[in-house]
Amino acid sequence: MDDQEKRMTRREYREQQEQQSQKQTQVERNSGLQDDHDNDGAKYDDLDQPAKDEMSREEQFTVDQEEEQAVKTDRLKRKLNIVIASLLVAIVIVYLILFFVG
């Protein structure tokens, strides 16, 4: 196989991953039902939901953007606090100069 045959589009990759996930879920359900017939599958109802650790690319990108924005916001807050404190000190110095000189 050359590179052209190995490459997949994003859609094909997602479909392949979804199919593998569905097969895995089906295998887990089947093995669970064979092991425990009394449970009626109640313990396997949550298999339809993806694990919290597994996120799609879009979700991961969104989370990364939010984290990056939070870091930038904290940095900006710190800088603004420094500027405000500097301005307050400068104002106090100017009033002291005016009080003693004037």
Give the structural domain span for 63.
Answer: 55-102
Q: For 49-56, what is the mean pLDDT?
A: 64
Angstrom distance (rounded) from CA 2 to CA 56: 28
- Read off the pLDDT band of 76 (50, 70, 90): very high
Are 63 and 83 in the same domain?
Answer: yes
- Read off the pLDDT band of 55 (50, 70, 90): confident
Tokens of 99: 């009080």
Are 62 and 46 in the same domain?
Answer: no
Are 18 and 65 in the same domain?
Answer: no
Are 41 and 81 in the same domain?
Answer: no
**Into how many domains does the chain fold?**
2
Cα–Cα nearest to 24, from 52, 38, 10, 44: 44
Are 32 and 64 in the same domain?
Answer: no
Are 46 and 10 in the same domain?
Answer: yes
The answer, as to whether pTM is greater than 0.85, is: no
